[in-house]
Amino acid sequence: MYLQSLSSLHPGQIATVQAIRVYSTGFHFRLSALGFKLGKKLLVIRIAPLNGPIHLRIGNTEIMLRRNDANMIEVSS
């Protein structure tokens, strides 16, 4: 299984969350509440230009995630 950061994916790719390595417990809890859980599948909908956020769908939830935060989430595709 090849792990990569969430920020390295392209629009239309589907991946599975393998690890969440965030800087604070509160932020980890927030991501978990939004659906970021180990083994959960996500879809990259679009990526904003100029180092903008990544638009994702996890289950029925769509969110925008900063690229710095997406760097801390490891996925397998």
Closest Cα to residue 5, out of 30, 15, 25, 27? 15
| Contact between 53 and 44 (Cβ < 8 Å) | no
- Tell me the two tokens of residue 22: 């965030």
Note down the domain range covering 70.
Answer: 3-76
Tokens 């629009």 found at: 11
Instruction: Give yes or no for residue 18 having a pLDDT over 90.
Output: yes
pTM for this model (two decimals): 0.88
Residue pLDDT, tens place only, 21-64:
988 899 999 999 999 999 999 999 999 999 899 999 999 999 99
Residue with tokens 């029925």: 60
Give the model's confidence band at 2: pLDDT under 50 very low, under 70 low, under 90 confident, else very high: confident
CATH of the domain at 69: 2.30.30.90
Tally of structural domains, the chain: 1
What is the identity of the amino acid at 28?
H
